[in-house]
């Protein structure tokens, strides 16, 4: 079964779902974030 990765912004962008962690390096690089908060 394939699960969808979802996103919402309020006021920060939040990605969640199976495999969402795979998008983290690209997102950090594109936004210039230095100290991301990762909640598992």
User: Over 70: is that where the pLDDT of 1 sits?
Assistant: no
Contact indicator for 16, 8 with CB cutoff of 8 Å: no
Per-residue pLDDT tens over the stretch 19-30: 988 988 998 999
Contact indicator for 5, 17 with CB cutoff of 8 Å: yes
Q: Residue ranges per domain, the chain? A: 1-32
Q: What are the tokens at 8?
A: 């919402």
Question: pTM for the complete prediction?
Answer: 0.55
pLDDT of amino acid 2: 77
d(CA 2, CA 10): 26
């Amino acid at each position: 079964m394939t699960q969808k990765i979802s996103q919402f912004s309020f006021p920060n962008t939040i990605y969640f779902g199976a495999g969402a962690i795979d998008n983290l390096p690209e997102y950090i690089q594109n936004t210039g974030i230095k100290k991301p908060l990762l909640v598992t």
